[in-house]
Amino acid sequence: MKIHDGNLTPSNGNLAPARLARLALAFLTLTLISCKDEPLFDPATPARGPGQFVGRDVPLNQDFSGGVSSSRPTANPNPPSDGRCDADCQRYCDNLELANPLDRALCPTLWGVGRETRPVDEIELCRRLYADLAGYLPSLYEIERSCIGVDKDVLVKRLIFSEDFVRKQRQRWADRLQYNDQTVNFERIYDADDVVTKTYRGLLRYDEMVHVMSAHPVLTRRFDSPGDRVEALFTTFLGRPPYENERADLAKLYVLFYNGEFVHPVLGARVPDSYIQHSCVNEEGNVDPNTQGACTSILFGYNAVILEPDFRAIDNRTFVENLTADEWRLLQTPGRIITTFEAAWEHAIAEIFRDYLGYDLATLRSESLAPMIAYLFEHHGDIRAAHYAVVTSQLYLQSADCSEGSCEEDPPLYEIGPLKQIDAEVFLDSILRFTGQTMGRCDFRLPTAMNWLEQSPAGVDLVHYSLWKLNEEGRLDRRYAELAQTLGGCPDNQTSARFRSISILNTATQESFVASLCNPSMQPESGVPASNLLPAGMDPALEANEDDAERIRDHQSRLFFARPASIEELDEARAAREGCGHFCTREEFARASCYALLTSSEMLFY
């Protein structure tokens, strides 16, 4: 297949010797590839697509500069009277020598004009960091081992360089790109997931990821028209729909994509996939000067996306799995165009602000964007650097606690720490970790796994190697997925999408789930083992006295909330013991306490 770069060359319709040589070389290459000792389909690693052609062997960064400032900034003792940062205010900020780019950007809004941020308790911060970066809530016992007393720069880097962080980002991009294996070939979804994995291991620059995704079937196959594909591109990577002239112009770069199907050679099922329709060529397969304008964008420079067909094309269409790296690179022209827009980088930073701070800082304080983008460029476009800068900033290192009288009424959002509703998967995973239970999984790469189990033995292998679990009867274990979907997680992106809400249905679902684990009604052969809810060495069958009640309450607070029980909570535990009955065993008290704690708001917000 000949890649047309936009320059017309005369043709008499015959195959020139040079073109014949290229065709022969391409055919030989394809033949040699087909002779390799590689399986036609490997259910453990089914990824196929443009992601195979990108990535580095060594991360872009092994370390990040900046981070937590050496000392917590304090408010300017002589702030400007009008609340606007003047030359003296700016000089005060410069003298603070702030290491973090976000701190430097917001100093004229905060400390320079006499405002303060709220110092965070170390335990509160550790719990927040693990929820945001690792995807689960830790117990106080875990925090004491791995977080208390550890330099926060070191801790954040350890979490960002972990596979838990990568898994969390893969899930976020699965939501943004709306993976659905009934609309897009699962092999392309696995490939897109590999691209995200490489990006968050530091093996791809952020703009390189955008390039690949701009022409990836996970984006193009979900839409029928070129204009809709442009809109998806802009919405995903710029955070806004295209203007009409942008939509009309860039749609010309998407006319080659055709939505089709094929019978999978191993699964034996019809699978949705993308093809390249060879548009803007004549009957001989050469660029047609009369129609090439339909495949050429001129709004952002002269960009033509035309692929001349060769022996791989059938009915003037080429299967995307047969494309070369150079051909994919040409198709990714829309991504290379939009990553020259400052808005693409601003949107990437704004999304990180929302993820970690819980509000739209980019809109509230637009001056926060430019220093963050400059910092990202200093780290060679490694998007992990922006994550690091935000979670080591003073805006993130604030307490969300505001005791009575200690905060002004309605302070700006950036003067109090993040307080966010927990994702469904984080809620479920944390409780299952606390109680030592397992309950299957869901895999965002195969949201409709049940369909693949019914296709063929190869479909069973595909599900087996995914994150889904099969029960003893060989059926798909959907307990986790059904719970998560009711709570807003594990979306299939066909009938449901991710959401967060507080509703009667959500509350009832959470309470039912917690009751099945804690078993407060003491149903026989139900709930987790009592030993999982009691302090080590405590006999569950003995009668609980008030001291036992305090010990159990404090142990569960450390386990579930990552903090010791307060004096008021210990007093409540003693009072609860009195209301438990004449003979109340330690197990009965522990199960009732477990239910009360795990259904509280402290497990839903962090």
DSSP secondary structure string for all residues of 490-532: S--SSS--------HHHHHHHHHHHHHHH-TT--TT-SS-GGG
- Of 581 and 160, the one with more pLDDT: 160
CB-based contact 108:89 (threshold 8 Å):
yes
**Mean pLDDT over residues 476-487, rounded?**
94
pLDDT digits (tens, 9 = 90+) for 234-264: 999 999 999 999 999 999 999 999 999 999 9
Collapsing DSSP to helix, strand or coil, 81 comes out as coil
Residue 145 has pLDDT above 90, yes or no: yes
Q: Which of 193, 143, 132, 157 is nearest to 67 (CA)?
A: 157
Which pLDDT belongs to residue 580?
A: 80
**Coil, strand, or helix at residue 115?**
coil
Cβ(318)–Cβ(307) below 8 Å: yes
pLDDT, tens digit, 9 for 90 and up, residues 311-335 = 999 999 999 999 999 999 999 999 9
CA nearest 6: which of 334, 295, 275? 295
Residue 479, H or E segment: helix 479-487
pLDDT surpasses 80 at 162:
yes
Looking at per-residue confidence, does 70 or 44 come out higher?
A: 44
Start-to-end C-alpha separation, the chain? 54
Side by side, the strands of the sheet bearing 270-277 are: 257-263, 270-277, 317-319
Q: What is the maximum span of the chain, computed from C-alpha positions, in angstroms?
A: 101
- The model's pLDDT over 413-457, given as tens digits with 9 standing for 90+, comes to 899 999 999 999 999 999 999 999 999 899 999 999 999 999 888
**More confidently predicted of 389 and 494:** 389
Section 388-406 average pLDDT: 88
Q: Residues 218-236: pLDDT tens digits?
A: 999 999 999 999 999 999 9
Task: Single out the residue of 211, 131, 222 nearest to residue 182, CA to CA.
Answer: 222
The whole-angstrom separation of Cα 181 and Cα 158 is 33
The 3-class SS string of 178-189 reads: CCCCCCCCHHHH
Q: Which two tokens stand for residue 279?
A: 């548009």
Spatial CA neighbour of 153 closest among 388, 428, 405: 388
Dist. CA 254–CA 495, nearest whole Å:
27
Q: Is the pLDDT of residue 19 over 50?
A: no
**Taking 70 as the threshold, does the pLDDT of residue 27 lie above it?**
no
Average pLDDT, the chain: 92
Token duo for residue 42: 């490997």
Across residues 368-387, what is the average pLDDT? 98
pLDDT of res. 1: 67
Cα–Cα distances in angstroms (integers) from residue 507 to residues 104, 400, 512, in the given order = 42, 23, 9
Q: pLDDT by residue (tens digit) across 554-587?
A: 999 999 999 999 999 999 999 999 888 778 999 9
| Statement: residue 33 has pLDDT above 60 | no
- Predicted local confidence at residue 456, as pLDDT: 85
User: What's the pLDDT band for 125 if we cut at 50, 70, 90?
Assistant: very high
Between 362 and 36, whose confidence is greater? 362
Res 404: pLDDT: 63
**Residue 4 predicted with pLDDT over 70:** no
pLDDT at 30 over 60: no
Q: For residue 11, is pLDDT > 70?
A: no
DSSP 259-281: EEEEE-TTT-SEEEEEEEE--SB
pLDDT of residue 406: 65
Contact 233, 256 (CB under 8 A): no
d(CA 486, CA 496): 10
Q: Is the pLDDT of residue 337 over 90?
A: yes
Distances from the Cα of 182 to the Cαs of 276, 457, 519, 562, in angstroms?
20, 19, 39, 41
Give the pLDDT of residue 405: 63
Task: Name every residue whose Cβ is closer than 8 Å to that of residue 110 and which is 6 or more positions away in sequence.
Answer: 73, 75, 116, 117, 394, 414, 415
What's residue 600's pLDDT?
Answer: 94
Question: What pLDDT is recorded for position 583?
Answer: 82
Residue closest to 428 by CA, chosen among 129, 135, 132: 135
Q: What is the pLDDT of residues 38-68, one digit of tens each?
A: 557 899 999 999 999 999 999 999 999 999 9
Q: Are 101 and 129 spatial neighbours (Cβ–Cβ below 8 Å)?
A: no
- Residue 573 near residue 532, CB atoms below 8 Å: no
Burial 513-551 (b: 16+ CB within 10 A, else e): bbbbbbbbeeeeeebbebebbbbeebebeeebeeebbbb
Highest mean pLDDT of the ranges 193-207, 462-476, 488-502: 193-207
Q: What is the pLDDT of residue 257?
A: 98
Write the pLDDT tens digit of every residue in 272-311: 999 999 999 999 999 999 999 999 999 999 999 999 999 9
Q: What percent of the chain has pLDDT over 90?
A: 84
- Residues of the chain by 3-state class (helix, strand, coil), percent to 5: 50, 5, 45
pLDDT at 6 over 80: no
Q: Is the pLDDT of residue 476 over 60?
A: yes
Contact between residue 396 and residue 418 where contact means Cβ atoms under 8 Å apart: yes
Tell me the pLDDT band of 25, cut-offs 50, 70 and 90.
very low
Task: Give the contacts of 402 (CB within 8 A, at least 6 positions apart).
Answer: 118, 416
pLDDT grade for 5, boundaries at 50, 70 and 90: low
The average pLDDT across 95-100 equals 94
Q: What residues does 398 pair with on adjacent strands?
A: 119
| pLDDT given for residue 36 in this prediction | 45
Residue 482 pLDDT more than 60?
yes
Which 3 state secondary structure label does DSSP give 147? Answer: coil
- Residue found under tokens 């190697």: 465
| Token pair 């305090």: residue | 550
What are the CA-CA distances from residue 352 to residues 19, 132, 320, 346 (Å)? 48, 11, 32, 10
